[in-house]
Structure 1
Amino acid sequence: MITGSRVLDTVRLTTPDFGAVVRSCAGMVAMAALALAWDSATAAVWAAGAGAIAGAIGLQDSPGGRVPLVIAVSGQMAAAVLLGALTSPHDLVFIGVVAAWCFAAGLQWALGSHAGLVAAGAGALLVVSPPVATSVSSIVVAAALTFAAGCVQATLIAVWPPHRWRLQRDVLTRAYRSLAADARRVASDRDASIDSAPMSFLRDVFVDSQATRRPKAYHGGHRLPERIAAVLHTLGEARDAANDGVAQVLTAAGTLLDAIAAHHPTARRDAQQAVEALDSAVASTSGPNAETAQRFSRLLHEAAESRFPDLRRPDVISGLGAAAAEVRGHLTSTSPILRHAIRLSTATALGVAADRLAPVQHGYWIALVVLLVLRPETSHTYTRCVGRLGGIAAGVVLASLIATVLNPTGVAAAVLAGLFLTATYTVTRYGYVAVSGALAAAVDFLLGIDAAASGATMEDRLFAVVVGGGLAVVVHVVLPDDALTRLQQRAGELLKTEVDYAATVIKAFIRELDQPADALSAAWQRAFRARAAFEAVSGATRMESRELRRWVRSYRAALNAVTSACTALESNLPSQPRVALTPEFVAAVEDYVDALRGAPPNPAAPWTVDLAALTTANQQVREQSARLAEDNSATRVLVAEVAAITRSLSSIATTREPSAAE
């Protein structure tokens, strides 16, 4: 199974280029046709399913590192197909294999939600294995075709990347090359000017009317080069001619920025060497500019890791070992990941048993629905299960009505599956219910490639869908998360939404937002709903411990203070364009917003604030605000409330929450 942490940002659906989606679906259909001609309809179902999953991974957010990731996931899917083909003729053995696979798939949520979704997708290929014996050669060919289907998707992404990715990559390349030249000029001449034209062009490309249609990894992708330019300007102004340490840092930075901008085969190796030289130069820097040089180094490290996602992970074995250690850390009775793995394993095993041992027609839909709807969610669990279940049922009904008229099988069914897969990407902006419906219709037509699987009536499918959804809800009721775990998870969700609300308000001070009233209202509504959920869980939790009651009270008080600070900020939002703000101050505030928002939420642990990064960013805001005009009242309010938010969040971070052991 895939255990590397790089799957963290892979399968969340966005709205990629239409052309890239069409190419991906065309590759999926081509592999289905090849499998039909070469081997069997069952192999075609597996190959098409693998192509769909690999295409979804390849089209997602990460601007780099997609090809090796897709190839690795293809190996995981080939292993699932191989296991399914070998064990499917033996019902009891097959049920045990499905239970074991889904248990391992559930544990992969410890590495992030997307790692769990990848493993669940491979599990879907496993549970649809037909209960018929085949020859060893057919099994090997089916697994090979599955792996090849994923490799085709990797090739399509590598050879024909989406157009917007190419455009933005080219603009980023120009910006980083310009920064490299600026760094070398400032290293040799502290009075040298910095070329601002590439930064302006960069912002024009990234901030446009099509922002909502870009991959999320490129939302705000201009900010990092802008922050690098701002710190470079600060270093140039403050550098002493006799300070050779800063000159060495700037020279090393120029080399690293050139490597980041390069696209030749040795670019990654050059970047690694440049990072080592930069770290050495920063370590030798002393005096008043040492802290600024360290901040400059952190930004360059971030840019290098964005360009080369595996820059810090050259050793695959050590990465796998770290991931395995992360998973082992959740083998405790109170872990929400372990409980989800048990729930997923139990529900899918029962679904497969109903398919094999009970008179249920096309009962594999039971296990498929479990894999589609079950998540290790502590908030809105039943609402989202029911929502996904309703979407799946609607998708099955739509697919059944189309199948009644067209009766598609083989390549025709693969083409319809590709069309609905395209629709899945299109409706992502409308929420998980719409995505579930389109995806269910695509899965229905994928299974319909095999004529033996296309004979189920709509009533048979809907019955299996309802049973699968019922199983997903029942296992949550029978095997709930630990009470304190639920409270901690809800607290983390509330903290995250409050922080997002604060970040939105702070951002409105320095940048013009599209429809600011709607953005602020939406952020506040999310925080309000999260607060209601937290209060509901805290009210249902037995507060026998004095420490627990004290923690809940202090948590409420701290978040109330954050809300008060946000209200004060909203009341003082400037109505005029932010022309009086220096680039250095804007960069410092954006650094604070990034530190505030932190890493993406992980289902394995409650979301928390990085207190060290937040404190450092707050200090940078205060230092840069001292260089602004004294009559800027809105800026003074911003700095004061940012400090208040930092103090409130610090009180949360320094108060240890009670554990289940207590």
Structure 2
Amino acid sequence: MSWLRALKHTARTGMKVERTRLEPLVALRAAVGLAIVIGFGLAFLGPGAAASSAFGAFMAAIATFQKSWRPRPVLALASGLTLAVSTFVGYLVGSSTGLFLALLAVWTFAAGLLWAAGPTAGIIASGNVAVMLVTVTLPTSVAQAAGHAAMIAAGGVVQALLIVLFPIRRWGAQRDALADALAAEADYARRLRHDPVCAFDPQPLMRARDAATVTARQARRRPAELHGARGLAERVRPVLASLADPAVGAPAEGPGRDRVRELLDAAGSVLDAAARAIRHGDPVRLPAPALAVLKSPDTADLLTGAPQRAARRLAALLDDVLETAEPRSGRLVAPDESMLRPTLTALVPTVLRSVRSELHPDSPILRHAVRVTAVACAGYLIGQALPLGHGYWAPMASVMIMRPDFSQTYARAVARFAGTLVGVAVATGIVQLAQPGMYLSGFLAVVSAGLMYVLMRTGYAVSQVCVSAYVVFLLGMGGVRWDQTVPDRVALTLVGGLLAMLAYALYPAWETPRLRTRLADWIAADGRYAAAVLGHYAAPADARRADVRTALLAARDARIDWQDAVDRAAGEPVRHRGLSRAAADGAGEAVAALGRNAMLLEAHLPDHSQAPVPGAAALAEAVRADTEAGAKAVRERGVPRWERVRALVSDEGAPVWGARDPGVLRAAGAQLLDALDEVSEALRG
């Protein structure tokens, strides 16, 4: 993609407005918290303290809207307290340009590195740096600086208290994640009726797993229906695939195939009913025809062998799903039986390890930290040198715009400037018409912030319209006229956006050259998953399903990393370096087929009492060795070869399988080889 096309693409992305489900009650609660701290500040402490507390409450509320499974009060407190510390320390050195620049560099570099801990930590840290640039200009003494820091922290405390006192849809995010996973499987079951080998995106299941990882305190309070259904959904998926696939399931045509289609449709109805019950906390309402199909005795006459076992297994699993999805069903799980998320203090060593792992020259996170530090310092100096006043707006805009990848940075730069232009124009018009005083300005600031909370997920440009109006009204509380701030804000926002875009162009972290590495990681992860499944066939008595589960999760992580990398690379102005778009698409489909074949084998894992399957150990070792070697070849821009697997599934490998030839497993090995050959063919083209 050329630079011109990339700029057009990112501009359209930045200005895009999405239709999404709004959360007006949550936004109202956040706006009420902001109104409380502004009103208290104006009534008892003056407009300066009111502005400080408003920034604390404003950023704390934004933190609670981030995509995180941690308790929302914890996010609000963390945001308010860290912002208070940043503001106070910033004021202590603010009188010296050199010392403040040094502090700004350290703070910004740390905020950039915190993206290694996830987007929520990165966004909160970046917001703290940006707001610190504003709030350090408000106090006039150390005592006032301490008071302003206390008010900022109080703003976060107020937002946290409101969440505790007025909870809205408890466990709503976790309910939605689990319901989305069940609904995705329902859709998968219906698609399998028409396409027995259709693909399934594991993202909803991974998101549900993240949502099911809780703190010890949450584990003691989690509703019973939120425990267990996710694990059952994980086990349903391979059974659905094995039932539908003609290679291991029912024949492609005939009465058996018709019954499979009926079973898949009934499974979709059951999973949808469970999803609705979990999402809303209502009793399960299931259409009677779906249960009749699943319990029909005719299935035993129409299906035999592996398809019949899959049909029975599916009916039993769906019964368990329905029982688990019923409100207040089952038992509350003890914390030591849950997937536990560490507390914020216990998370520190993990964050440090994540940051340490990014300290190498090719790391996108490290490059982002260097870029944002250089831009923030340069923007601050440029803002101070320009005869505009409010010079902090240039670095503030840059810090809020910049992200570790190209597309988001450029899209946000365009959206921020456009949103600022519209927002200040609207706010200026209101100010000129209404001539608001201190309290009316505070009220208009709260309304603007409330609109931003409601519309935050519709697009960055829309939220910036509201944020720009919020800042104009907030500064108006202290008597600052619009003509003293609006022109400066627009000009310096443009400067900050241009600096952010220029920095990425000069010191990029392109994803395109890393596509081969991402693909190699996925091949190796899928190979380890397939080998773990085959190892279960080789030694059923000693096998541990947890090993298969761990390998499956690693393969899913690698697949999601690959998909994210492909999406990011699609908008970059970089020619492919060894992996064209067509090759990437073809190789991705082939590796997905490799993982799917392993999943079909997982659906029929032998019990611990069964005898080892001849040849399974040799095939497991061949798959592991070939995929590791193939991944190495992909990283080195070569075409992988799969000689060990090919030798086993060919006629020359017949002695390995023994006298009792396991046709199903050998056929599965041939399917694995076909998928691997498709990977080589895609890379060769």
- 2:91 alignment counterpart: 85
Partner of 2:210 in structure 1? Answer: none
Asked whether the equivalents of residues 58 and 153 of structure 1 are also in contact (C-alpha less than 8 Å), the reply is no
222, 225, 228: which one aligns with 1:175: 225
Q: Deviations over 1:209-265 (max 9, x none)?
A: xxxxxxxxxxxxxxxxxxxxx99x959979xxxxxxxxxxxxxxxx996224xxxxx
1:336 is matched with which residue?
Answer: 364
- Once the two structures are TM-superposed, the CA of residue 384 in structure 1 deviates from its matched residue by 4.2
Letter in 2 for 1:259: L
Letter in 2 for 1:89: S
Seen in structure 2, the aligned counterparts of structure 1 residues 259 and 64 have a Cα distance that, compared at 3 Å, is farther
1:259 to 332, 336, 359: 332
Q: Give secondary structure in 2 for the equivalent of 1:385.
A: helix
Q: Aligned-pair distance for 1:433?
A: 2.3
TM-score (norm 1): 0.56
Task: From the superposition, tell whether residues 74 and 343 of structure 1 become closer, same or farther in structure 2 (CA, over 3 Å).
Answer: same
Identify which of 372, 377, 398 aligns with 2:405: 377
- The answer to whether structure 1 residue 313 and structure 2 residue 313 are counterparts is no
Match of 1:619 in 2: 601
1:486: Cα distance to partner?
4.7
Give, in angstroms, the shift of residue 395 of structure 1: 1.9
Paired amino acid for 1:446:
L
Q: How does 1:291-370 map to 2 (within 5 A)?
A: 304-305=338-339, 311-313=340-342, 316-370=344-398
Q: In structure 2, what residue type is equivalent to 1:147?
A: A
Query: What is aligned with 2:154?
Result: 148
Say if 2:136 is the partner of 1:108: no
**Structure 1 655/425 Cα, relative in aligned 2: closer, same or farther at 3 Å?**
farther
Shift of 1:467: 1.5
Partners of 2:277 and 2:329 in 1: CA distance:
24
Tell me what 2:276 maps to: 204
The percent of aligned pairs where both chains have the same amino acid is 27
1:150 shift after superposition: 0.6
Q: Which one-letter code corresponds to 2:601 in the other structure?
A: Q
Which residue in the other structure is 2:27 paired with?
A: 21
Instruction: Mark the CA change 1:402 to 1:73 in structure 2 (over 3 Å): closer, same or farther.
Output: same
Contact map agreement 2:87 2:149 (CA 8 A) in 1: yes
How is 1:495-644 mapped onto 2 (pairs within 5 angstroms)?
A: 532-533=570-571, 537-539=574-576, 541=577, 549=578, 552=579, 556-557=582-583, 559-560=585-586, 562=588, 617-620=599-602
**Equivalent of 1:459 in 487, 495, 513:** 487
Deviations for 1:170-206, whole angstroms, at most 9, x for unmatched residues? 99836358989x9xxxxxxxxxxxxx99987643346
Find the structure with the greater CA-based Rg: 2
Amino acid across the alignment from 1:538? R
Specify the alignment match of 1:188 in structure 2. Answer: none
Amino acid corresponding to residue 413 of structure 1 in structure 2: S
Q: Judging changes above 3 Å, is the alpha-carbon distance between structure 1 residues 204 and 450 closer, same or farther for their aligned structure 2 residues?
A: same
Q: CA deviation at 1:321?
A: 1.4
Match in the other structure for 1:263:
none
2:304 aligned partner: none
In the TM superposition, 1:189-268 aligns within 5 A as 202-205=274-277, 258-260=331-333
Contact between 2:72 and 2:160, CA under 8 Å: does it hold in 1?
yes
- 1:160 paired to 2:166: yes
Give the whole-Å Cα distance in 2 for the aligned partners of 1:42 and 1:492: 50
Which one-letter code corresponds to 1:204 in the other structure?
Answer: R
Cα gap change, 1:387 to 1:62, in 2 (>3 Å): closer
8 Å Cα contact 1:398-1:441 kept in structure 2: yes
Shift of 1:48: 0.9
**Residue 71 of structure 1: how far off its partner (Å):** 1.6
Q: Please tell me whether the aligned partners of residues 389 and 465 of structure 1 are also in contact (alpha carbons under 8 angstroms).
A: yes
Structure 1 residues not aligned, in runs of 5+: 1-11, 183-195, 209-229, 239-254, 261-269, 276-303, 306-310, 497-524, 542-548, 566-595, 597-608, 625-647
1:487 paired residue among 506, 510, 513: 513
Shift of 1:457: 4.7
Take 1:13 and 1:122, find their aligned partners in 2: how far apart are those partners? 29
Equivalent-residue separation in structure 2 for 1:558 and 1:199 (angstroms): 34
Q: Does the CA contact (< 8 Å) of 2:77 and 2:157 recur in 1? A: yes
> Is residue 60 of structure 2 the alignment partner of residue 54 of structure 1?
yes
Amino acid at match of 1:36: L
Q: CA deviation at 1:333?
A: 2.2
How far off is 1:389 after superposition? 2.3
| Structure 2 CA distance for aligned equivalents of residues 490 and 408 of structure 1 | 59
Deviation string 1:56-96 (CA, Å, 9 cap, x unpaired) is 22245446522223222222111112123323333332232
Aligned partner of 1:42: which letter? G
Which amino acid in the other structure matches residue 124 of structure 1? A
Task: Report the alpha carbon displacement of residue 131 of structure 1 after superposing the two structures with TM.
Answer: 4.3
- 2:401 touches 2:409 (CA, 8 Å); kept in 1? no
How many residue pairs match? The answer is 442
CA distance in 2, matches of 1:23, 1:237: 44
Using a 3 Å threshold, how does the CA distance of structure 1 residues 199 and 559 change in structure 2: closer, same or farther?
A: closer
- Say if 1:396 and 1:458, in contact at 8 Å, map to a contact too: yes
Q: CA deviation at 1:388?
A: 3.0
**Do the aligned partners of residues 530 and 162 (structure 1) sit closer, same or farther apart at CA in structure 2, a change above 3 Å counting?**
same
Determine if contact 2:225/2:278 at 8 Å carries over to the other structure: no
Partner residue in 1 for 2:540: none
Say whether the 8 Å CA contact 1:378–1:486 is kept in structure 2. Answer: no
Residue 149 of structure 1: CA displacement? 0.9
DSSP-derived class of the 1:456 partner: helix
Residues 318 and 202 of structure 1: CA distance in aligned 2, closer, same or farther (over 3 Å): same
Task: Give CA-to-partner distance per residue, 1:90-140, whole Å, 9 cap, x none.
Answer: 333223222221111111111122211101111122101354763333222
Aligned position for 1:657: 635
AA aligned to 2:223 is T
Task: Give the alignment's TM-score, normalised by structure 2.
Answer: 0.55
The 1:178/1:317 distance shift into structure 2, 3 A limit, reads closer
Distance 1:179 1:99 in 2: 47
Contact 1:88/1:129 (<8 A) preserved: no
Gaps of 5+ in 2: 1-17, 180-221, 233-267, 281-308, 318-327, 523-562, 607-625, 638-685
Structure 2 residue identity aligned to 1:46: S
1:271 corresponds, among 325, 328, 335, to 335
TM-align CA RMSD: 4.7
SS at the partner of 2:575?
helix
Return closer, same or farther for 1:145/1:347 CA change in 2, 3 Å cut-off: same
Q: Answer yes or no: is the 8 Å Cα contact 1:362–1:456 preserved in 2.
A: no
After superposition, the Cα gap between the structure-2 partners of 1:204 and 1:165, relative to the gap in structure 1 and judged at 3 Å, is same
1: CA distance, partners of 2:84 / 2:223: 37
Counterparts of 1:26 and 1:125 in 2: how far apart (Å)? 21
Distance 2:228 2:635 in 1: 48
1:393 lines up with 2:421 in the alignment:
yes
| Residue correspondence of structure 1 range 439-478 to structure 2 within 5 A | 439-452=467-480, 456-478=484-506
- SS in structure 2 at match of 1:259: coil
Of 66, 72, 80, the residue aligned with 2:72 is 66
TM-superposed deviation, 1:153: 1.0
1:413 matches 2:441? yes
CA shift, 1:561, in A, is: 5.5
CA distance in 1, matches of 2:628, 2:437: 60
